[in-house]
Structure formats: C-alpha cells, structure tokens
Chains A and B, each alone.
Chain A
Amino acid sequence: MDSKMQESTLLQMRHIEKRFPGVLALHNVDFTLRKGEIHALMGENGAGKSTLIKILTGVYQMDGGVISIEGENVSIRSPQDAQNKGISTVYQEITLCPNLTVAENMFIGRESGAWIKRKDYEQRADEILKSLGIPARSTQQLGSCSLAVQQMVAIARAVDMKCKVLILDEPTSSLDDKEVNMLFDLMRDLKKQGVGIIFVTHFLEQVYEVSDRITVLRNGELVGEYLTEDLPQVELVAKMIGKELDELSALGEGEEEKESVKEVFYEAEGLSSSDAMPFDFCIHKGEVNGFTGLLGSGRSESVRAIFGADKVNGGAVKIKGEPVKITRPIDAMKHGIGYLAEDRKRDGIIAELSVRENIILALQVMNGFFKPISRSESEAFADEYIKVLNIKTASRETPVGSLSGGNQQKVILARWLLTHPDYLILDEPTRGIDVGTKLEIQKLVLKLAEEGVSVTFISSEVEEMLRTCSRLIVMRDRHIVGELKGRDLNQSQVMKTIAGGEA
C-alpha cells in the first residue's frame, strides 16, 4: 500500500520556506500532487498560493525545503528549467501570440522548432488537437479562436511538451459557463492520461465540480490537505478564512438588533457595470453596511459601480428619492459620495505628491479647475486632518509614498473626509495595515455613522465587518446571495451564506 502511494506521487514539496524583505511569505508548507489527479490550491488573498506556484515554476527561489519529482530531489532554477523538468503553467491571461497560427503557437520557442518543416508540425498539431478534442485547426490564426480555445491551445502546447505537472492559474476567470465545461472536459481527459493538474481558482463551485483533492493555505502556512468529497463547502470557507465552525457558532450573539427607521440615502435598482452583474442596493442615512464574499465574488465590482468607477451599463439610481445619473466618479462626488479604492497604490495615492496635495485633491476637483484652493488654506486643511486622524508624517510636504501603508490610508481617508461626504464607500480600508490603525479606522467609521454619514465597509476580515456593520450583503460568483442583519449577523451564518447555504 505504502509503496503504491509512493509510486503514484508525482510531485512533492516539503517544508517550503520563502522570505521576502520583512515578510515570511511561506512557512513550512507541504504540497503533494499525485499522478492523474486534479488538485485545487485554495486560499484567500495573500495566503501564499501564487508564491508557491512561482517557486514551483522557477520564478522565485525558495529559502528552504525540498522539492522532489517522481521521488527524485530536484532544484528548479528558472522557468525554462521547470519546463524541462515537466512542469508547465497556463496563466489567466493568454501568453501566446494571437497573430500566429495555432500550430506556430504550439511549437514556437522549442528546441527543435526551427528545423521542423511547416507541413510536419502542422500535421502534428492537428493530431494533438484531435486527440484532445480541441475544436481548432492548426492553420487557423490563434486570435480568431475564442478565449477558451486559446486557453486550450496553451494547454495542448504544455501537454505536447511532455509535461507531467500542469498548473492552471485562474484559467476560468474570463470564460463563460459553456467554455468552462469544455475546459473541464479537457482537464478530465488529461487526468486519465496521468497528468497531475494543480488548479488555482476562487470559484468554489468549480473546485467541487472538477477537483479530487484540495490543499488550503492561509497566511503563508499550510492549513491542510483534504479529499474534496470529505470537505463540505462551508468548512472549506471556514478553513480559508481561518475560523473553525464550532468556534464560529460560539461567537455570534453580540449584535443588538437595530432597525433602521431613518430615511434612505442611496438606492439602486438593477445597477450594472462592465464588471458588475445587475444588483439592487440601498443604504440609509447614518447606516453602516458591508459587502462580503470571497475574493472575486464581485463585492468590489459592485461598489465600484455605485461610484461610477467602471463603465456603468444600466440601472436606476436615486439619491434621497431623486433619480440621478452617476456614470463617472465626478458625478458620484458631486452627489456626496466618496470612494476609498481597494488598491491603495494603484487607485489611491499620488505617491510623489505631498501629503498636503493628496489630502486636498478630491476637494480641489469638486471645487473645479478655476477655483484652486490657496496655499495657506490647503496647509490649514492638511494640518487639521494630520491632527484629527493622527497621521504620522515628517511634515505636510513629505511625499505620501514615503509614509507607511496605514498612514497612506489615513491620508486618503482625510482626502474624502475633507469633501464632507454624505456617503462614504470604504473598500478594504484596513488591508495590510497595523492593528492599531485598523481599530482607529473602525472607530472612525462608527463615529461617522453617528454623525449621519452612510458608510459601506468592505473587509476580507469578517470579524471586522461584524463589529462595524449593521447589515451585511453577501455575494458569491458575482451575485448577491443573501442579506444578513440583526440575529443572523454572526460568523457562522456569514460563512454558510458565502459557501452556499448547505452545511
């Protein structure tokens, strides 16, 4: 039995360590992949999935641990090295050349490629495509195929390179249901041929549809390896987020039931954007509510639609009962809505500008191009908010990029507070910042609500949301699947709703 286990083990990673400056990205992580297995690698943002994949594909070098392929210890020095050892990766974005033919894409950049006649490799490509049941011709331009077929061609390329381990990194995120099924059929085919597949995704349903085993990582550590059939969806969610179910039910009853009798501030019906499915939503004056769900569930996309950050496609929006049109951020700002973006570096700070300039930016935009805030006035604003929010900065003229993450976040908060919004959307305001600042921000949110400001609060940490929100909107696979308030507002209920109800 034991020897049989050994035989079927394809890839083994043991005690993997990876350190980045100031962070331990992976600590003592084990991962085992067997022949003919589809193995899902799960974890929330920052759990270490992509670091592990990058070590396996030679992008990063590990700081400790052992990797063995078919029982033999190996070291993987570069992506090319990984490929030679039979490890192939197909990424979320297609990394092939759309202006070349399918056959050229399958053979480009391989050692013997230059010496093979076109006819020969086109014939070979057709054979592979046929054997894998991929609906494409070898002479067709890759760009003329659907995204799913392009992805499958990438897989075919990998398979033909005698890959033993195939890594699929979020392969389904840009595919529709039918295309996903095509891809799954191909995956099952490869599995029969003995290929080991590592499947990285955040779509829970897909994990249960196709995978045999699940390995869960959290905060750079291994949570465990499970047979898919033995791990109910709700337990998987609990393991990813880090709460045992019993512990969850023990918590819970803290919140008082607060019925909002106040007027509705913002109301949307069938609101949709280029990235968000149509949804209904409303928020009362002085209410704090939250969107929750796993990464990729559509929570950020939804609030971005409210602010007009993505292209708004449809829906009716009312503010204080009056119908309004919000298609651009500036429209939302003029109606008293502020939005603190999820990605602070990309969408928030203007790194090289000073703390002062960053604080006055949104107010300046609302005031207009021809009414600049005077230097002395802007200095007064900056000083006021540096004091109120306790921003730690050398001076108000320090470039905001040189501040710590938490203080950068406070600068952006100050920027929106200065506009005196009626409704503030905070998307992950506490991500990647220290505990003390987290608490300060939570307190600030509650204080704003008392002053009559409506707040939508999004956080990956469910506890934090339970502490601040009086109503939680739960999303899964880009749809709202539940709304929790009052007595239902506890962690186990949230987990159950995220996972799909059945526990």
Chain B
Amino acid sequence: MKKEKTKFFSTGLGQLTIPLVAIFLLVIFNLIRDPSFFGIVLGHNNDGNIVLSGNLISIINGASELAVLAMGMTLVTAACGGQDISVGAAAAIAGSVFVKVLKSGGSIGGGKVLIAFIAACVVAMLFGTFNGTLVAVFRIQPMIATLILYTCGRSIAYWINGGATPTVSSPIITAIGGFIPGIPVPTPIIIVVIVAILFKLVFHFTSLELFTQSVGINGSAARLNGINSTFIKLLSFIILGVCVAVSGSIGVSRLGLINHETLLLDIEMDTILAVAIGGNNLGGGKFRISGSIIGAYVIQMLTVTLYAMKVSSTDVKAYKAIVIILLVVIGSPVIKSRFEKLMSRFKNGRSEISAKGAGES
C-alpha cells in the first residue's frame, strides 16, 4: 500500500514537472505584469510577407539554436556522464565553414546552400569525433576533453575566413534566418521541430535510446551485455556535431554574416543548463529530449522577461542566475524527496481525517 503511494507521487513528480512549472510561473508572472505580453499579431514585415510576431513568437524563435544544441547535449550527457563545453566554439567553426562555402564564387542558389550546410555538418561531425575520441577511447573527462576545442575553436573559426567577418546576402539565407515567404512561422522554429522529429525517428528506428541509457547508467553491465560503449559515446558526440552545424547555420542566417568572436557566445553554459532544467541527470543515464527542449524555452523566456522588465543587459545575468539557482535547487533530489515525504504525510493525514469522518457518520 505504502509502496503504491510513493509510486504515485514519483510519477506525479515526473521529470518534466519542474520545467513545466517554471514555464507556467513565468507565464503567470508576465500576464500579471502585462496582460498583453503574450499577444500575437499577424502582420506584414519589411519584405511584405505575412508573419506572426509578438513576445511569445520571439521567445520560441530566439531559443531555436539553444533548443537544437540542448537536444544533442542531452545525448552526450546521458552516454558520457559529462558535458561538451565546446559547442559555442564549434558552432562558430561550423558557421564559418557555412559562410566560406557560400562565398566561394558564383551566385547563392538552393543547391549551394545545401552543399554549404553539408560541409558545415561534416566539419562539425569531425570535431565531434575528435571530442568523442578523447572521451570514449582515451577516457578523458568530457569537460576536460572539450576544453581544448572550447579554447581554440574560435581561433580556428578566425582562420577559416582569414580573419574577416564576411556578410552573405541572399534571399535564401534571409528565409532560413527569418521567414519563408507564405509561411508566417519563423523558419528557425520549423527547423527545431524538424530536428526534434528526426531525433524521434532515430529513437524509433534504432536502439540508440536503450543503449545510451544502459551505457550511462551502468557501463560495466552494458559491456557484459555486448554493448560497444565506445561506439555509443562516440556516436553521441557525432550527433551533437550535427546539432552544432544546424545551430551555427541558423545563427549565421539570422545575422547574414559570420562573426567568429560573437556567434553563439557563451551558449555552452545555457545548453548545459537547459539539459539540467529539463530534469536530466548531468551524471548520465536516463534522459528525455523533450525536457531539454522545454529547458531551453525556460531559459529564453526568462531572458526575454528580464529584458521586458527593462533590466539592463549587464544585470540580466545576475537575475538569471538567481532564478536558475532556485530551479536547480528545487529540482535537486534532496528537495524532491522532502517534498514527496511532505506530500505523502499530507495525503495520509487527509485520508485519516476522511476515514474518521466516515466512521463518525
């Protein structure tokens, strides 16, 4: 009986509870502050397209790069029990390659954009393989292994375009970073949906999810069941590489230029936070990609809310830190188990009272 009760509460307090509650509170807070905050407007932009705009759209749109990276990071975290801190630097490299190929003479057509994207993917996957080899083969801690690329990544990006910050102007690039004519939803949002669907498909058609979780939870047992844990870890870094290329390309397309110094700067920490807020164990093991996506939106909504409250951009980080500390502490196992105890006591007390009441009547 008692067991059933704890079971009930542990499912009641599932992995997604904290991020969903966080989003809910942020929404309520904003609605109280400004009832029209989440108003969505259908209007025309400068190019004459019909587009959706408003704070909600800009939050979801702005979180796109973060959401894509968080999906890949979730996989690396689950398999390796550590994080890749080089994703921002690697995205700068991928973005530089993307631009380099686009600028390689001739007009920018659809085929060329595709080739540029594939080139960015290949390069990012190679760097992912480098990180993954250090982690999976040489057993270096992920944070140390990826510190190398974190440190030198933006220098490599600098070399690719000879130190320049070239601009690319093409309707296709504008469409990727903004709106496709005729579709009112910003393209980055659509890309996030596509990446999420791709993950879902990979999990459906391969055993990636089961194997990754097994390797992350109990590497020794996974090995004795014939799982090649080196391969699984390496694969997680390569998949993250694809995510890096996608978010780097989105970032470049948004601005229409590559700035190797500022593109997706400091995004690695937000990415790791998104994974953590999503209720995933940073020590590896069980994971939910959806949690990390919601985590990314929580972070972005928080940032936008703070800006909307006219908090200066230098102060935003401090306020963000406070909220994030709260979220992480609330999500910690210590608080969770206390809360569950409290809830079960509350529940028991109530059932006792109702039992008494029933007895009396």
The interface of chain A, by Cβ under 8 A from chain B, is 307, 309, 328-330, 333, 339, 341, 346-353, 357, 360-362, 364-372, 394, 398, 415
B218 proximity list for chain A (CB < 8 A):
346, 349-351
Task: Tell me the complex Cα distance, A349–B224, Å.
Answer: 11
* Chain A residue at minimal CB-CB distance from B211: A369
- The proximity string for B residues 120-143 relative to A, scoring 1 for CB distances below 8 Å and 0 otherwise, is 000000000000000000000000
Task: Tell me the complex Cα distance, A353–B287, Å.
Answer: 11
B316 interface contact, C-beta 8 A: no
B64 interface contact, C-beta 8 A: no
Task: Tell me the complex Cα distance, A394–B213, Å.
Answer: 22
B220 proximity list for chain A (CB < 8 A):
346-347
Q: Is the CB of B226 within 8 A of A333?
A: yes
Q: A329-B226, A366-B226 are in contact. Are A348 and B205 (CB under 8 A)?
A: no
Task: Tell me the complex Cα distance, A339–B226, Å.
Answer: 11
Q: Is the CB of A394 within 8 A of B7?
A: yes
Q: Is the CB of B226 within 8 A of A352?
A: no
B205 proximity list for chain A (CB < 8 A):
370, 372
Chain A CB within 10 A, most for which of B205, B217, B221: B221
Q: Is the CB of B217 within 8 A of A353?
A: yes
* Chain A residue at minimal CB-CB distance from B228: A330
* Chain B residue at minimal CB-CB distance from A341: B224
Report the contact-size class of chain B (Cβ under 8 Å from the partner). Answer: 20 to 34
The interface of chain B, by Cβ under 8 A from chain A, is 3-4, 7, 204-208, 210-211, 213-214, 217-218, 220-228, 285-286
Tell me the minimal C-beta distance from A411 to chain B in angstroms. 12
A350 proximity list for chain B (CB < 8 A):
213-214, 217-218, 221-222
Tell me the minimal C-beta distance from B172 to chain A in angstroms. 34
28 contacts between A and B (CB under 8 A): A309-B224, A329-B226, A333-B225, A346-B218, A347-B220, A347-B221, A348-B224, A349-B218, A350-B213, A350-B221, A352-B217, A352-B285, A353-B286, A357-B210, A362-B225, A365-B207, A365-B211, A365-B227, A367-B207, A369-B206, A369-B211, A370-B205, A371-B207, A372-B205, A372-B207, A372-B210, A394-B4, A394-B7
Q: Is the CB of B204 within 8 A of A361?
A: no
Given A339-B224, A348-B224, A365-B211, 5 new contacts (CB under 8 A): A307-B224, A328-B226, A361-B210, A369-B206, A372-B204
B211 proximity list for chain A (CB < 8 A):
364-365, 369
Cross-interface CB contact of B286 among A339, A349, A352, A398, cutoff 8 Å: A352
* Chain B residue at minimal CB-CB distance from A398: B7
Task: Tell me the complex Cα distance, A332–B308, Å.
Answer: 62
* Chain B residue at minimal CB-CB distance from A373: B207
* Chain A residue at minimal CB-CB distance from B4: A394
Tell me the minimal C-beta distance from A405 to chain B in angstroms. 15
Q: Is the CB of A349 within 8 A of B221?
A: yes
